Structure 1
Amino acid sequence: ELIALSLRLLRIYSTPTVVMSRSEEDLTRIHPTVPPQVAATVSRFPAFSLLSLDGYQSAYSSMRGGAPRPLPTIRVSEDSRDVTPSEDDDTVSIALSSMDNHSKSRRFSTITQLNTTNEKSNHCDRRVSIEDGALSRKMTGTFGNLALFKDDDDTSMPNQSASIFSAYTTPGPKERATSEHGKKANLGIMLGVYLPTIQHILGVTMFIRLFWIVGIAGLGYTTLILLLCSLCTFLTSISLSAVATNGVVESGGAYFMISRNLGAEFGSAVGILFYLANTVATSMYLVGGVEVMLMYLAPGMTLSLGMTGSEEHDEGHTFFGSQLNNFRFYGTLFLLLEVLIVAMGVKFVQLMAPVSLMCVIMAVLAVFAGGIANKVTDSGQRVCELNDSLIMTYPMKLVARDQSIDAGNISDNYCVLCDKSIITDLYCDKQHSDDASCTQMLAHEVECINGFPGFNVATLMANLQPSFLNEGESKPQTQAVKRAEVRQDHDSSFFLLLAIWFPAVTGILTGTNMSGDLADPQKSIPGGTIAATSTTSLIYFGLALIFGSCIDRRVLRDKFGKSLDQTMVVASLAWPSPWIVTIGSFLSTFGAALQCLCSAPRLLQSIAKDDVIPALSPFARVTKSNEPFLGLLFTAVIAEAAILLGEVDAIAEVLDFFFLMCYASVNMICFLHSILKAPNWRPRFKYYHWSLSLIGAFLCFFIMFASDWKKALIACVLTFSIYKYVEWKGAKREWGDGIRGLALTTAQYSLLKVEDKDPHPKNWRPQLMLMLTSDWKDKEVTDNRIVSLINLAAQLKAGQGLAIAVGLVAYDKNEITRKELDEIKSDITRRMSKSRLRGFGKTLVYRQNQAHGTISSLFQSIGIGGLRPNTILLNWPNFDDYEHLVVFAEQIILGVQMENCMMLTKGITAFPEGTDRLCGTIDVWWIVQDGGILMLIAYLLKQHKVWRGCRLRVFVVSESSDSSSLLMVQKNLQKHIYQLRIDAELFVVNMNTDDELTREVQEKTAEMELKRLPKLEEMRARSVTGSYLNDSYSNDETLPRSETTRAFARSVSTMIKIGEQGETSFTEGRYADLFADDQSRDFSSEAASTANGNGTAKLNVQKMNTAVKLNKVIMENSPDSQLVILTMPIIPKKIDAFINQYMTYLDVASEGLKRVIFVHGSGKEVITTQS
């Protein structure tokens, strides 16, 4: 039996043809390698299914990698203890235990522990686990994948080549980052992350600006600058390690990581900044390379009118006007050359990577060696100094040539130029020999000093203190002689130097961008990034120490090596030759620029492929060779714009803010996930803390605003603008990001802080719930009633309250599918978004005979905590649909019972859209004391631009004819409205009550009811079937349900008989209690009595009289009003009284009005006059 079960497990490999075997010969013919004892055992089970030869062969070949291989041999052992894992891949071992009657109680299992920390696990594990020997229909196996709980008749088996974790997919671009040679990703920490990151971080700024920063800021402040920048990137590296190991990083690298954790809006904004950072970095590297070429490698290439070298840089007498234009010209040429190289493919770009890295490493080693060599051999380069100011070599050479002085080989010793006659001609104009510069020269002796003394304590102490210089100064507070002395090209400060240096520490995201080529990204990225950041920081601190202890302070301030005959200061320190640093720095800039220019278009393509910024969609296209050529051209245009800045320092100041925003985002991602403790936050890198991420983010923003707060604001505004653009266009991506998690946690915290009880009157605001009814099945028709109601709710959004739109969906026999409900909900949400009504859409399904319970449950359960709707907004019902009338009545009655404020609109299709602008009046007919809810609704509407041009008028109805009483009422109301701080015009209306009007009302009432009789009879015949009313509609439990329903329906047509007449005088109390007697009347019993012929229902003429007279008064005072807001009287509890009397009254009272809102307050919404 155990053998049969083991063989049966072979079915999980594929979907083969199944045969039924009864004999040993058949089994042996199908599988020749089956031993006789196994065939004999299997043949005992006539219903046992075995794989066919073809199916088993196919499954086995697929399991072994797809190559055709011979079938495995089945080895049988008498004892299970003899079964051991075979090293032979073509052997399956099966234990044959004794076949006794107790075999079913015996446990036979083989357990294999998988190494979850190493994804290189064996994908062909044949061991199975069967408990208790039971022949179960659902089995578990681990044959290359987990076929969990597969039924015997299930023929859909997973693909053998898939991973057991293939069900997990990370959202994002479909393409994974793969190696360019098509090989399996197998790079480790050293080659995959550490060395590429070092290559990206160590750049030209280290060679052409670090020594100058030491000379200006002193070794103390330089150490602080290096510490701030290195600490910023080190903390960011820690945050990056945590984020990068919390899941798979797809193509797009750092952008993918940031966007999937910060959301589509912030992710796109930061992604654009990261793209701009790589693009502008290309410009900085190119301009830096041009500076090295024109200043140190080939000064003769400067396009000028006979001048070369530093003279053009100082005087500006070049063919283009200044040396900066030479930087722009050659930078543009280099950019075009690099665009051509990148266009040929990424393979050509990768050829420069090892060359660039080797040049940087050799240059750094040469500088360290030079510090030692100069100390041992005392072979440091000499320079000419006068009164603590260095003299430029190039002007001295010109004077020596004019005086026919043989200076010899000045490249070895500049002291030969420190001649008195040369200096005199250089400082003293022959025509004005008594000028200040000449007098100063004659007062001091020219000295030839050792500018590179090697490691020296005295030099170190002299370079500790800062000496910030302004533009044109040769030393603090001393203007330089332009034609002779070395001077500063612009003002300097601590934060300016901080901004110039920060780009030298960027590049820590390189390892993340290479995640597709890494064998184990979750191990390589943290170790490689942190190690590279630490290594480069140590190199920078070491170089700063060497510069501060081996080079004279005055030479350190020589930014362009003018006192060294246009030789780079760092190159002059290098050993054995200065050309190692000069050529190495130039080649490193060229390689780094290629890397940035290659990665920037691909980053732009990743952003475009996410389709969150429609304007970037053209850049998602690639060529046949998978090169984003259009993105390359766009990147070149932006890089050219940055090149036009002309200076490395100016470009570096702009570049800072792009990188800092990216690094701040990485730190904020780690901080948010750590502090929110989201369930999906499980990074493999454990050495992080939310406080470190917060400090890192703070450092990023501090460096930004301390360097240049104006540019920092521009970067923030640019980020916010992209965020709002993506939000406005509608980001359809849901990536489970941290911003959503933050919003969820904040919402939860806020809800817990809001107590689940009635708010203070000062905090009351309308929390709207829109009850939407429509023919949802007809998708081709737009229900303007729903659209207008949503527009009205949007115009009330000044209340800053909750908005929930509920679509009521009725069904009887035909079931409503989830897909249909989702489509209805999406349609409601889309209309809310179009009307700019921020809230939630939902659907509610109910049966006609369950309307009461369904709506009651909705009103009781909607909302959470203290955030629940308190105002129900409904449309005027359709009197032609009696079922709709029943549901509408349920909403009103149950809403009042739940102590909600009710708002009923009439003429909703005439209400304005969001683009309309109305002028006129909003008239509030304040008849019943309601706590001021009518005034609040009118005030909120006036805050919207649609109603802002309307004047607010308040009409108060009174029956008193005494003028003194009217004046007193008007005075009190004016004071009350003033205290409410609402601008409104107040009117007191006296309603007359004469008999002539009463008789006219009776005639009009009878005529109106006679016109409605045919429609009511039609509705009764079509709608009354006994299926749409709840048992709660009737209090007469002695009658059968169907009889009670029929009696209620008949009462609709018998209520037209008018008997009693009564004169009424309108008062506030009588208006409020207009239907108070209906609260206790049993209309169902009355209806049943009517059905049995025991009496007829009589219409209350007094109520209709009041309604008609109120309508007359309103039409006299508000015939052209843009909106009339009316108070609703007390709502009856019985549904028949509501439909047959109450709605008739409201219809008559509002007859002839264009737009009406009926409001029924709950008594809780009180507008307070207090602050």
Structure 2
Amino acid sequence: MEERRRRFSTAQQINPDTLKVIKRAAARLESIVDEEGEETAAADKEPYMRKQSIQNKFTAKLGGLALFKDEDEDDISMAAGGASFISAYTTPGPKERATSAKKKANLGVMFGVYLPTIQHILGVTMFIRLFWVVGVAGIWHTMLLLLLCCACTLLTSISLSAVATNGVVESGGAYFMISRNLGAEFGSAIGILFYLANTVATSMYLVGGVEVFLLYIYPGITIGGEAVHSDTSMFGMMSHNYRIYGTILLLLECVIVALGVRFVQLLAPVSLLCVILSILACFAGGIEKAVVGDGQHVCMLEDHLLNSRILNLPPGEDILNICNYCKKGDHIADQFCEGNTTTEVCQTYTGGSLKCVNAFPGFNSALMHANMNPKYMQEGQAVEREPKADRSREVFQDVSTSFFLLLAIYFPAVTGIMTGTNMSGDLKDPQRSIPSGTITATLTTSFIYYALAILFGASIIGPVLRDKNGKSIDGSLVVASLSWPSPWVVIVGSFLSTFGAALQCLCSAPRLLQSIAKDNVIPMLAPFARVTKNNEPFLGLLITTGIAELAILLGAVDAIAEVLDFFFLMCYAFVNLVCALHSLLGAPNWRPRFKYYHWSLSLAGAFLCFFIMFASCWYYALIACFLTMSIYKYVEWKGAKQEWGDGLRGLALTTAQYSLMKVEDKDMHPKNWRPQLLILVDGKYSKEMIDLRSLNLLNLAGQLKAGKGLAITVAFVRCSSTRSNVQENRKKADEIKDRVQQDMGQARLRGFGKALLYTESQMEGCVSALYQSIGIGGLRPNTVFLNFPRMGDSDDHHKEQRIFADQLCCGAQNDNCMVVVKGITDFPRPNDRLRGHIDIWWIVQDGGILMLIAYLLQQHKVWKGCKLRIYVIAQEGEQNEEMKHRLQRHIYMLRIDATVFIVNMIEPEGVEDDAVQKTLNMEQRTRTLMKKNLSALSNGGLSNGGFTPDERFQSGRNSPNGNTLAVPNTVCRPPRDKEDNNDTVSSNEISIKDIDDTKVQKMNAAVRLNQVILEYSSESQLVLLSLPKPPKSIQALVENYLSYVEALTEGLPRVLLIGGSGKEVITADS
């Protein structure tokens, strides 16, 4: 039996090695397609969605799979079916895959990530500041400081590795990964900060190079002479030297970068080699000094380190012979006493002992123990807890020091972890190279920093470690004096490293700016997207040079480093945040392959970044946050054109879902009631133009934004009922939806726009379904805005009246607050300012909804100049004064400023005749409508067999769940009397005896109220009236109700007719 069983398929397990081969083949195939230009146009038009919009690919050519093909789809080539099926999602770069013919360098971990990252991290700060940090903070505090810095970069490297392994990274580097995960707004903000970080880093490296050159290589060219080397205040002469020579170096590097990136890359290996040799020379010097037991000596007066200049060494004398001159004698006495032996300085000299001390004894545990504790000092001090030093004779601190100041100064030395990520386009396997290379480089540099800190603390005495500028050793670099075989190894190496690092930053920053500009999210950056014929961003280079010059004007490495910190820290913080967000929100597309990642590490990294920012300099941190938010709001204001599926939108969706689940789907407390608006506009809305009535309705809804409620605008779009026009109808609806949202923005109405398609026979069901289904959970519209229809006799007017009747009838029976706007074309626009009165005619008890709507309108600048007046209709026999007093107290308790008037209605002459005539006109109009309806039904134009005439709209209070309305086949269908089926309209003549007395009474009430309202409110800016209760029958509403309302509001320019459901109770409670 088994042998005869037919086989329909075979299964074979894919070997993992084979899978890797197939993936590489798929990647090669994909690159070939790009080179041939077959997919380039699609990538440029719809970059991010290119992969998502592609048609389904089949894994084999089988007839059975035709089930999954679209009817109009042609046969798909299966040449690379297997490869394309298993190829991972590719994340494109700016313009999502630039059409460049340049072949990838296919760099590996070592040369693509590890060595470039090492080169960028190990810079001049390590040589000119680390020894000073150890001397001031002590070894223990330095270990803690390095722990904070290195932990911050290590945690960020882990997050960066997770991002890099979450899909294929092709090009765009760190900015691309951040922006595509953070979204257009935050991505642009962090991208700008990352660009500024690279630009300001250029300035820091250049000023550091100038410091090395002027202090240690060629001090003779210092403007003002060597005597100004200690004048490092903001406007000191040495700071001016940094500015002048830094500017010269910047212009030189600008010219070099303008020649092309290839010339810059030639200096990278030279710079890295110099750094490595310098570090090895430091370790060799520490060992050599310990073995030989002799190093550079310094002269000290008690525990005060003296400036070697006061010893008056002969010209050309080697500083190694300093001990021959560190003896009390006339040449030193003259420096301290200056002919007056009674001064405190002179007495200190004469009473103290002058000694020559070995400053570099080499590595030993006793010296290491002595340098363990911190020695934080104020500016001008030479020894801790002592008065300020004599600046002309002693070595002193040029800045007040603290742990967090040193942290801010040294943190730039650990930055540069994104160098490998920036080279992602040239990596052979970015998913493997970026994590391993970046983390290994971070650990390596951390080890080097720790080793150097221990080496300095155990090989150099504390006073010399605190001699930042080497004044005690004739202006030599302290680290260079430790090195072996020659101090020039470190001096030349540190200078070349600064020059090379500055070139790298000045080269990468304009390209980063170009990537941001090409994304087209910040319009003002558009010019910087252009490149020269050699693909060089020349305009970006110019603006980068200008910004770098501004940073150079800060005048010192320490000042620039403090600013630079915050640009890098903000960037690192948001890399960590986005990873934590993706993990905590459980984003389906967040599947990083990096197995050592955990969301807690990202959260700790983000916290550490913000901690360092605010602990180091809280006002700089606030400025960085303000700058980030300013760019965010600017992009949001301009309207971000890119949608990258970012983590922050995922956070917004998750937060919204959580909040909606917390809001119970039941009637809210009156204190929490606010108008949640549903604005219904007619089908004349189109892509090219909008009916002024609809636009003014949006403006009016926008003026109610003080209610802080939901706003949904629905445009009813009449469409063809044929199935062949489905796509055309959908496209039309999308265009109208976009126009609705655009005009909502113009009206400053924040909310959602929708377009609802309907056919002639679907209108009633669409309106009912809309009321019952719109919203979600407890967040549902409770207030409906409608335009009162035009009361003409044309077919268009009759259709408009019918649609209005459907909307009003269904809305009222759905327990919504109905706001009918009459005279909408006369309502003010957002920039108008009105003065006068807003009159509330309180005819029926409605819980105070009229007062609440009037109050909310009054909060808007359009109506703020208007005062509220409340008119109450009194019945005969009521005590007016007592009623007025109670109402005034009630309004006072409601905290609404308004004037109350009691109006007694009288029966004026001629009103009844006018009411009778209006009733006759109404009946004549009803007969005309009946004729047209009968004619349409006989021609089948408006027939709908699915509807039965006697079905009714049932209230949701009687439905099983108490929250929905039963929807019959016909909703709000007018009832028919038994004799209606046999009625035929034979004549247009109507006599008074044929008129129903009830209709005359209603019309009489409308006319009387209208005359009273005109008497008091004809000059008012706005009149709010209680909406007469609409009939349950739509036919009665169209035939009679509209005429009553028209008579009620005749002669009033702007009217809001408001009908509450009884749930909108304005309360006096707090």
TM-score, normalised to structure 2, is: 0.89
Comparing both chains, which one has the higher relative contact order based on Cα–Cα distances under 8 Å and sequence gaps of 6 or more? 2
**CA distance in 1 between partners of 2:946 and 2:70 (Å):** 49
> In structure 1, what is the equivalent of residue 406 of structure 2?
497
Range moving further from structure 2, 247-256 or 716-725:
247-256
> In structure 2, what is the equivalent of residue 447 of structure 1?
355
Larger radius of gyration: 1
Equivalences for 1:827-846 in 2 at 5 Å? 827-846=739-758
> In structure 1, what is the equivalent of residue 1064 of structure 2?
1165
**CA distance in 1 between partners of 2:476 and 2:229 (Å):** 15
**CA distance in 1 between partners of 2:186 and 2:27 (Å):** 44
Tell me the secondary structure at the aligned position of residue 844 of structure 1: strand
Is the 1:480–1:487 Cα contact (8 Å) retained in structure 2? Answer: yes
Of 555, 567, 585, 1:676 maps to: 585
> In structure 1, what is the equivalent of residue 389 of structure 2?
480
> In structure 2, what is the equivalent of residue 170 of structure 1?
91
1:212 shift after superposition: 0.5
Of 540, 558, 570, 2:467 maps to: 558
Equivalences for 1:240-279 in 2 at 5 Å? 240-279=160-199
Of 787, 804, 807, 2:712 maps to: 804
> In structure 1, what is the equivalent of residue 912 of structure 2?
998
Tell me the secondary structure at the aligned position of residue 710 of structure 1: helix
Question: 1:349 and 1:1024, CA in 2 relative to 1: closer, same or farther beyond 3 A?
Answer: farther
2:271 aligned with 1:356: yes
> In structure 2, what is the equivalent of residue 923 of structure 1?
839
Is the 1:1036–1:1085 Cα contact (8 Å) retained in structure 2? Answer: no
Question: 1:1029 and 1:836, CA in 2 relative to 1: closer, same or farther beyond 3 A?
Answer: farther
Tell me the secondary structure at the aligned position of residue 338 of structure 1: helix
Equivalences for 1:66-215 in 2 at 5 Å? 112-113=14-15, 115=17, 116=19, 121-122=24-25, 140-141=59-60, 154=74, 157=77, 164=84, 168-174=89-95, 176=97, 182-215=102-135
> In structure 2, what is the equivalent of residue 791 of structure 1?
699
Range moving further from structure 2, 1007-1016 or 207-216:
1007-1016
Q: Counterpart of 1:782 in structure 2: which amino acid?
A: I
**CA distance in 2 between partners of 1:902 and 1:142 (Å):** 60
**CA distance in 2 between partners of 1:167 and 1:371 (Å):** 52
1:109 shift after superposition: 7.3
> In structure 1, what is the equivalent of residue 214 of structure 2?
294
1:1021 shift after superposition: 6.5
Question: 1:821 and 1:1104, CA in 2 relative to 1: closer, same or farther beyond 3 A?
Answer: same
**CA distance in 2 between partners of 1:700 and 1:935 (Å):** 51
**CA distance in 1 between partners of 2:251 and 2:116 (Å):** 25
1:959 shift after superposition: 2.3
CA deviation vs aligned residue, 1:888-938 (integer Å, no higher than 9, x gap): 111111111111111110111111111111111111111110111111111
Of 955, 958, 974, 2:888 maps to: 974
**CA distance in 2 between partners of 1:189 and 1:906 (Å):** 72
> In structure 2, what is the equivalent of residue 379 of structure 1?
294
Equivalences for 1:635-646 in 2 at 5 Å? 635-646=544-555
1:840 shift after superposition: 1.1
1:163 shift after superposition: 6.0
Is the 1:395–1:426 Cα contact (8 Å) retained in structure 2? Answer: no
> In structure 2, what is the equivalent of residue 726 of structure 1?
635
Question: 1:414 and 1:750, CA in 2 relative to 1: closer, same or farther beyond 3 A?
Answer: same
> In structure 1, what is the equivalent of residue 783 of structure 2?
871
1:162 shift after superposition: 12
2:630 aligned with 1:699: no
2:765 aligned with 1:853: yes
> In structure 2, what is the equivalent of residue 1147 of structure 1?
1046
> In structure 1, what is the equivalent of residue 902 of structure 2?
988
Question: 1:976 and 1:1083, CA in 2 relative to 1: closer, same or farther beyond 3 A?
Answer: farther
Structure 1 unaligned blocks of 5 or more: 1-100, 127-137, 402-406, 1038-1078
Q: Counterpart of 2:1040 in structure 1: which amino acid?
A: Q
1:1161 shift after superposition: 0.6
Is the 1:279–1:600 Cα contact (8 Å) retained in structure 2? Answer: yes
**CA distance in 2 between partners of 1:632 and 1:119 (Å):** 42
> In structure 1, what is the equivalent of residue 964 of structure 2?
none
Q: Counterpart of 2:241 in structure 1: which amino acid?
A: N
**CA distance in 2 between partners of 1:238 and 1:156 (Å):** 41
**CA distance in 1 between partners of 2:306 and 2:391 (Å):** 10
**CA distance in 2 between partners of 1:581 and 1:1102 (Å):** 105
> In structure 2, what is the equivalent of residue 1122 of structure 1?
1021
Of 319, 342, 356, 1:434 maps to: 342
> In structure 2, what is the equivalent of residue 411 of structure 1?
319
Is the 2:920–2:995 Cα contact (8 Å) retained in structure 1? Answer: no
Range moving further from structure 2, 876-885 or 860-869:
876-885
CA deviation vs aligned residue, 1:94-118 (integer Å, no higher than 9, x gap): xxxxxxx989758677765464456
> In structure 2, what is the equivalent of residue 941 of structure 1?
857
Is the 1:176–1:516 Cα contact (8 Å) retained in structure 2? Answer: no
**CA distance in 1 between partners of 2:451 and 2:642 (Å):** 47
**CA distance in 2 between partners of 1:148 and 1:629 (Å):** 55
Tell me the secondary structure at the aligned position of residue 452 of structure 1: coil
> In structure 1, what is the equivalent of residue 677 of structure 2?
768
Q: Counterpart of 1:847 in structure 2: which amino acid?
A: T
Question: 1:124 and 1:549, CA in 2 relative to 1: closer, same or farther beyond 3 A?
Answer: closer
Question: 1:843 and 1:198, CA in 2 relative to 1: closer, same or farther beyond 3 A?
Answer: same
CA deviation vs aligned residue, 1:752-777 (integer Å, no higher than 9, x gap): 11111111111111111111113246
Question: 1:1012 and 1:854, CA in 2 relative to 1: closer, same or farther beyond 3 A?
Answer: closer
Is the 1:285–1:592 Cα contact (8 Å) retained in structure 2? Answer: yes
**CA distance in 2 between partners of 1:654 and 1:1081 (Å):** 74
CA deviation vs aligned residue, 1:936-984 (integer Å, no higher than 9, x gap): 111111111111111111111112355xx11111111111111111111
Is the 2:922–2:1039 Cα contact (8 Å) retained in structure 1? Answer: no
TM-score, normalised to structure 1, is: 0.81
Is the 1:1035–1:1084 Cα contact (8 Å) retained in structure 2? Answer: no
Is the 2:92–2:171 Cα contact (8 Å) retained in structure 1? Answer: no
1:823 shift after superposition: 0.6
> In structure 1, what is the equivalent of residue 449 of structure 2?
540
1:426 shift after superposition: 4.7
**CA distance in 2 between partners of 1:167 and 1:247 (Å):** 7
Question: 1:700 and 1:813, CA in 2 relative to 1: closer, same or farther beyond 3 A?
Answer: closer
1:187 shift after superposition: 1.4
1:534 shift after superposition: 0.9
Question: 1:373 and 1:740, CA in 2 relative to 1: closer, same or farther beyond 3 A?
Answer: same
> In structure 2, what is the equivalent of residue 613 of structure 1?
522
**CA distance in 1 between partners of 2:1026 and 2:296 (Å):** 97
Of 332, 343, 346, 1:424 maps to: 332
Q: What is the percentage of aligned positions where both structures have the same residue?
A: 58
Q: Counterpart of 1:946 in structure 2: which amino acid?
A: V
Tell me the secondary structure at the aligned position of residue 274 of structure 1: helix
Superposed CA RMSD in Å reads: 3.1
Tell me the secondary structure at the aligned position of residue 533 of structure 2: coil
Tell me the secondary structure at the aligned position of residue 471 of structure 1: coil
**CA distance in 2 between partners of 1:678 and 1:1154 (Å):** 54
**CA distance in 1 between partners of 2:974 and 2:215 (Å):** 103
Q: Counterpart of 2:836 in structure 1: which amino acid?
A: G
> In structure 1, what is the equivalent of residue 38 of structure 2?
none
Question: 1:231 and 1:324, CA in 2 relative to 1: closer, same or farther beyond 3 A?
Answer: same
Is the 2:131–2:479 Cα contact (8 Å) retained in structure 1? Answer: yes
2:1033 aligned with 1:1134: yes
Range moving further from structure 2, 1108-1117 or 1021-1030:
1021-1030
> In structure 2, what is the equivalent of residue 7 of structure 1?
none
Question: 1:1086 and 1:313, CA in 2 relative to 1: closer, same or farther beyond 3 A?
Answer: farther
Structure 2 unaligned blocks of 5 or more: 30-56, 952-971, 988-992
CA deviation vs aligned residue, 1:392-445 (integer Å, no higher than 9, x gap): 122323xx55xxxxx874332211221312553453343433222111100012
Range moving further from structure 2, 683-692 or 267-276:
683-692
Q: Counterpart of 1:1125 in structure 2: which amino acid?
A: L
2:496 aligned with 1:587: yes
Question: 1:512 and 1:231, CA in 2 relative to 1: closer, same or farther beyond 3 A?
Answer: same
1:314 shift after superposition: 2.8
1:701 shift after superposition: 0.7
> In structure 2, what is the equivalent of residue 603 of structure 1?
512
Of 814, 819, 824, 1:908 maps to: 824
> In structure 1, what is the equivalent of residue 147 of structure 2?
227
1:1013 shift after superposition: 8.0
Q: Counterpart of 2:160 in structure 1: which amino acid?
A: L
